[in-house]
Structure 1
Amino acid sequence: MLESCQNAQERWGGVHLLIDRWLQEREELIGAYDKLGAQPESLSESRKPLQEFCGVLVDYVSAGHFEIYEQLTGEAKAFNDKRGLELAETIYPRIDVITEKLLAFNDLCDEGKCVAEKFKELGGLLHERFELEDCLIEVLHTAHKAEDPVQA
């Protein structure tokens, strides 16, 4: 999973500061996930590493929904990118479903009900989300970086 994060940063790093920061947050999230995954017993032994992971998870998810997706959609609108907007309309509902599951996990942890099985499910959800987000970045941002919205 970390390798795909590095590839995304290589492809889009430096394109836009907000996306760069978000991709760094993604890398931090993956690191926190891998750290807990290497020590699954820590899920029940100590709440601190799990709380730290959940904090990074919520920050990452929030940045996506309240900053990045809005910006990407706005950029596509500025370029009158109908294909990109249609793709976003297709992808966003799945991202919303994944978000609900990630936040439900966070809520379980807040209630002290976090279990290793639920944590393992997160890996697949995060991987799918990252792929969907990479697709959005590719279509809604990278495709426009050489264009001028005034001329489009």
Structure 2
Amino acid sequence: MLTKLNQAKKEWGGTLTVLDNWLAARQKLVILYCELAGLPPYHQEKRSLPKQELITDFCQQLLDYASTGHFEVYEQIIEQSKLDGKENLKIAQELYSRITTTTDTALNFNDTYAENASDQTLLSFDQDLSELGQVMESRFEREDQLLEVVHLHHTLA
């Protein structure tokens, strides 16, 4: 996820302040995910559940990132795609629809774990976090494709 993020920052960074802030938020989200999942460099010899404070922080970042995408970034991309022609608009709307389906997974994760989750609920934490990671990766890929639709049109125009 970090490699793809660096590619996105290299390709679209500096284009718009909102994009720069959004990509920075994505980076923070990915780092928090790695920390929660115990991935390098956050690997621990003794595996244990993360502290609730870290889970809550991650959930807040997850919601902030998704909200910024939906209410600031995607909106601008869809509007720009309308100006770029029907084909670009169609592609952008299809990608947006596929991104939107990932939002439910993020919201469900937040609803389950953001506040003091019970010990019983936490038994599913690792599995749920792993599934969320796969959904996040898919979402990031679609978001990058959405940015590419607008970027390619303006590069060729």
Q: Which amino acid aligns with 2:8?
A: A
The aligned counterpart of 1:104 is 108
TM-score by length of 1: 0.87
- Aligned-partner Cα distance in 2 for 1:143–1:33: 33
Asked if the contact 2:96/2:146 (under 8 Å) is kept, the reply is no
Asked if the contact 2:81/2:89 (under 8 Å) is kept, the reply is yes
Asked if the contact 1:72/1:141 (under 8 Å) is kept, the reply is no
1:145, CA displacement in angstroms? Answer: 5.8
The aligned counterpart of 1:30 is 30
Asked if the contact 1:77/1:85 (under 8 Å) is kept, the reply is yes
The aligned counterpart of 1:57 is 62
- Aligned-partner Cα distance in 1 for 2:132–2:34: 11
Q: Which amino acid aligns with 1:127?
A: E
- Aligned-partner Cα distance in 1 for 2:94–2:156: 25
Asked if the contact 1:9/1:23 (under 8 Å) is kept, the reply is yes
Asked if the contact 2:2/2:30 (under 8 Å) is kept, the reply is yes
Q: Percent identity?
A: 37
- Aligned-partner Cα distance in 2 for 1:126–1:87: 20
Asked if the contact 2:81/2:92 (under 8 Å) is kept, the reply is no
TM-score by length of 2: 0.84
Asked if the contact 1:12/1:142 (under 8 Å) is kept, the reply is no
Asked if the contact 1:33/1:53 (under 8 Å) is kept, the reply is yes
* Cα RMSD for the two superposed structures: 1.7
The aligned counterpart of 1:90 is 94
The aligned counterpart of 2:41 is none
1:142, CA displacement in angstroms? Answer: 4.7
Q: Which amino acid aligns with 1:7?
A: Q
- Aligned-partner Cα distance in 1 for 2:128–2:77: 31
Runs of 5+ unmatched residues, structure 1? 148-152
Structure 1 ranges of 4+ moved more than 4 A:
none
Asked if the contact 1:76/1:84 (under 8 Å) is kept, the reply is yes
Runs of 5+ unmatched residues, structure 2? 39-43
The aligned counterpart of 1:41 is 48
Q: Which amino acid aligns with 1:100?
A: D
Whether 1:134 and 2:144 are equivalent positions in the alignment is yes
